[in-house]
Amino acid sequence: MNYRINTKVVTLVALLVVVVVGLFVYTLISTPSEVVPPESQTPAPQDEERILTARHQYVDGIHTIAGVTEVPTPCHKLVAETFFTEENPTDVEIRFNTLLEGEECPSQPFEVPFRVSFEAGENAVISATWNGGPVRLNLIPLQPGETLEDEIYPKG
């Protein structure tokens, strides 16, 4: 059998291939690719210093610290424990740790309240850690007549 090649079809297919390859090359060349030098990259959120703001009350030898902070997901539980430091027994360190409870959880920050009470002198130095790392503790003393419940759990 003698097959004849239709030159119009071959020409049309070749032209189509050239156009597709040309568009591909044009896309590669014309798309700007921005390379960010490593020194100008912003640090990851976990590298940033965490600031924990809370209300502080001292009554009859008892310090109470309460506030609201973010945990990585709704499945994270916040645990706060107090320890007297080894360097100075009058200084107190609050250790905040987050524990993951559950496997399937939306990956969105979630606000949780916390409250820690401990017995120490009125001038005790209070510091904190977050999952073993440093945290800047911003304590706001209560004014006369204020209560922690009104501040942390507003009515209404």
pLDDT tens profile 26-40: 887 876 655 544 443
pLDDT tens profile 70-111: 999 999 999 999 998 888 878 899 999 999 887 788 888 999
pLDDT tens profile 111-135: 999 999 999 988 999 999 999 999 9
Residue 7 has pLDDT above 80, yes or no: yes
Give the E-state strand segments of 35-109 in sequence order: 50-59, 62-71, 76-84, 92-100
Check if the beta carbon of residue 131 is closer than 8 Å to that of residue 79: no
Q: What pLDDT score was predicted for residue 133?
A: 92
Q: What rounded mean pLDDT belongs to the chain?
A: 82
